[in-house]
Structure 1
Amino acid sequence: MRLRLPEERPAEPPTGYKIAHPMLSQDGTRAGFTGVSLGGALPYGVLDEARCVYGLRHRAPARLCDCGFHCVHDRAAAEALLCTGEHRAAVLLEVSVLGSYIRFELGFRYARQRVRCATVGPCACGAAAVALADAGWGRPGWRALAAACAGCVRGRTSVSLASFARLAGEGLRVRAAGGAAAGAGAVADESCGSSGPARLSGNLGVPELVAEAALLQARLDWFQGRLARLGERGPGAPPQGSPPQG
């Protein structure tokens, strides 16, 4: 006799938590995420459908396979994963579990999801993040991003938190840990930790504009420093580090 799992029909989509790496497309026009373990080779959008990572044609989540999106029930359990060395650069996601799902003791494995909020940790130097900058690795067609403060962005490919939310779309909210939300959400989400009044879609509040200004100023300072060094060497000098000719 084949046992069947009990079916659930919740009135609202369940909420789950997970960690992931923010990603930026090569042309800089799209933003998304990639997982930290199973399925990490397949970047996904804010609203996306799971595919079998083994290339099988069944629909996720299949009972006899590991495919599907994964998340945990408890926010603290997801935050604990950020303590490990290999996951320090990841961000915390709050997601809505959509479509069919399989419930486990600690979380869900499910077919579709909507990422509602991404919480970005501090820069590697310890300062609060104002941007997501090139992390030095990626996937074909995608750059991985990591939290960066205004002083550490320099000339790296980067986007502000508000710009990442806009590129990702679907009402995603992005916030720096301990800071205010930045994004295109129509309503502030207390579970995401946002503060301040609700904002209309497409509008930026004072914290987001301050972060944008800090990022622009950091880039301007970096370019001015490069120009100053070039001026000291003279217009005909070889690039720094070039071997002598002759």
Structure 2
Amino acid sequence: MRLRLPVERPTEPPTGYKIAHPVLSQDGTRAGFTGVSLGGALPYGVLDDASCVYGRRHRPPVRLCDCGFHCVHDRASAEALLCTAEHRAAVLLEVSVLGAYIRFERGFRYARQRVHTATVGPCGCGGRAAALADAGWGRPGWRALAPACAGCVRARTSVSLAGFAGLAGDGVRVAAAGGRMPPGGPAGVDGCGVPEEVRVPEVAGAPEGFGVPELVAEAALLQARLDWFQTQLARLGDRGAEGGAEN
């Protein structure tokens, strides 16, 4: 006798939570996410279908396989995963569970998903994130990104939170949470001059669609880079002056 799982027909897609690493394509024209465990080798977009990580031809999820997207039911359980050392630079995703799914005690395994919100944690220095910068590792064709404040971005490949939302597309929201804010910062804006939550129009990568919050975020990131380059030029000038004096 074969046991059959109960069939659910929800009126609305279930909501789930998961963590993932944000990634940027090698040419800088696309953005997405990659998982932290089994499916980490397969980056995915804001709206995407799952693939079997073992290369089998079935459509996920299959009961006797581990393939498919994974998420948990409650936000607190996903946030707890961010406490581990290897996941400190990951972001928290709120997703809609689409297509066929298998329900478990703590979450879902499912065929298709839409990412609604990506919550970015603090920079490694403890400051509020202003951008997502090169994390120093990646997948073929994709650079992994990590939260960075304006002061820590420097010359690394990076994209502002608004810019990442625009490249990812499909109306995804990117929010900065946690981290220190210098005293005297304007209400609703973090210490680096970046709004705590930004949303980019559905058309991804279209600068003409940016509003004031998105342009403020981009300006803060550009100013941080300019300050860093000016500091480096000043140091080079000092070294040159010292060399001339010795001669």
Shared fold (TM-score, shorter chain, > 0.5): yes
Residue by residue over 1:81-119, the C-alpha shift from the partner in whole angstroms, topping out at 9 and shown as x without a partner, is 001111000000000000000000100000000001000
Aligned to 2:59: 59
Residue by residue over 1:40-69, the C-alpha shift from the partner in whole angstroms, topping out at 9 and shown as x without a partner, is 011111111000001111110011000000
Aligned to 1:183: 199
Deviation at 1:232, TM superposition (A): 3.0
- Verify: 1:220 aligned to 2:226, yes or no: yes
Q: Map of 1:153-164 to 2, 5 A cutoff?
A: 153-164=153-164
Residue by residue over 1:144-202, the C-alpha shift from the partner in whole angstroms, topping out at 9 and shown as x without a partner, is 0000000000000000000000000011100101563112268xxxxxxxxxxxxxx94
* Secondary structure of 2:220 counterpart: helix
CA contact (8 A) 1:163 1:183 kept: no
* Secondary structure of 2:147 counterpart: strand
35-44 vs 170-179, greater mean Cα deviation? 170-179
CA contact (8 A) 1:129 1:176 kept: yes
- Structure 2 gap segments, 5+ residues each: 179-194, 203-207
* Secondary structure of 1:86 counterpart: helix
Q: Map of 1:85-124 to 2, 5 A cutoff?
A: 85-124=85-124
Distance of 1:175 and 1:182 partners within structure 2: 6
* Secondary structure of 1:220 counterpart: helix
Distance of 1:99 and 1:181 partners within structure 2: 29
Aligned to 1:204: 211
Distance of 2:107 and 2:200 partners within structure 1: 28
Q: Percent identity?
A: 81
Q: What's the TM-score once normalised by structure 2's chain length?
A: 0.85
Aligned to 2:187: none
Distance of 2:200 and 2:96 partners within structure 1: 17
* Secondary structure of 2:129 counterpart: coil
Aligned residues: 221
* Secondary structure of 2:16 counterpart: strand
Partner amino acid, structure 2, of 1:183: R
Distance of 1:107 and 1:204 partners within structure 2: 37
Partner amino acid, structure 2, of 1:230: L
Residue by residue over 1:12-45, the C-alpha shift from the partner in whole angstroms, topping out at 9 and shown as x without a partner, is 1110000000000000000000000011011111
Distance of 2:66 and 2:38 partners within structure 1: 8
Alpha-carbon RMSD across the aligned residues, in angstroms, is 1.7
Q: Map of 1:141-180 to 2, 5 A cutoff?
A: 141-177=141-177, 180=196
Distance of 2:149 and 2:17 partners within structure 1: 25
Distance of 2:230 and 2:159 partners within structure 1: 20
Deviation at 1:136, TM superposition (A): 0.4
Partner amino acid, structure 1, of 2:199: G
CA contact (8 A) 1:129 1:148 kept: yes
Aligned to 2:6: 6
Deviation at 1:223, TM superposition (A): 1.2
Distance of 1:70 and 1:204 partners within structure 2: 34
Aligned to 2:189: none
Aligned to 1:133: 133
Distance of 1:205 and 1:18 partners within structure 2: 30
CA contact (8 A) 1:183 1:204 kept: no
